Amino acid sequence: EEQAMSEEELKLIMTQSYQSGEINHTELAYMQNIFSFDERLAKDIMVPRTQMVTLTEPFNIEELLEIINEHHYTRYPITEDGDKDHIKGFINV
């Protein structure tokens, strides 16, 4: 019967894989972030709905760039008629 590896064992394998060239620095950092993700609270990574900055279609590139430069978020919901209850998609920055 196989036993699951501990977090420390997995971290050791990741470090060894990086040192031997099996994975690159970006891949190592990505996997390390997985272990720290469970320590974060939703309020630390999410914006309350009432404070969301949204885009309403139609919009042009100048408007988009202005909003991105002003708010510096990584994702902007695209809404229908400015209604935050009707999100049609997202723009990832």
Which one-letter amino acid corresponds to residue 2?
A: E
Extended strands (E) in the chain:
55-56, 75-80, 83-92
pLDDT of 36 higher than 80: no
C-alpha–C-alpha distance, residues 36 and 33, integer Å: 5
Question: What pLDDT shows up at residue 27?
Answer: 94
Q: What is the pLDDT of residues 59-92, one digit of tens each?
A: 889 999 999 999 999 899 999 888 888 899 999 9
Domains of the chain, first to last: 7-42 (no CATH), 47-92 (3.10.580.10)
Cis, bond preceding 58 (omega within 30 deg of 0): yes
Q: Is the pTM of this model over 0.75?
A: no
SS3 at position 78:
strand
Quick check: 21 pLDDT over 90?
yes
pLDDT at 33: 86
Is pLDDT larger for residue 46 or for residue 24?
A: 24
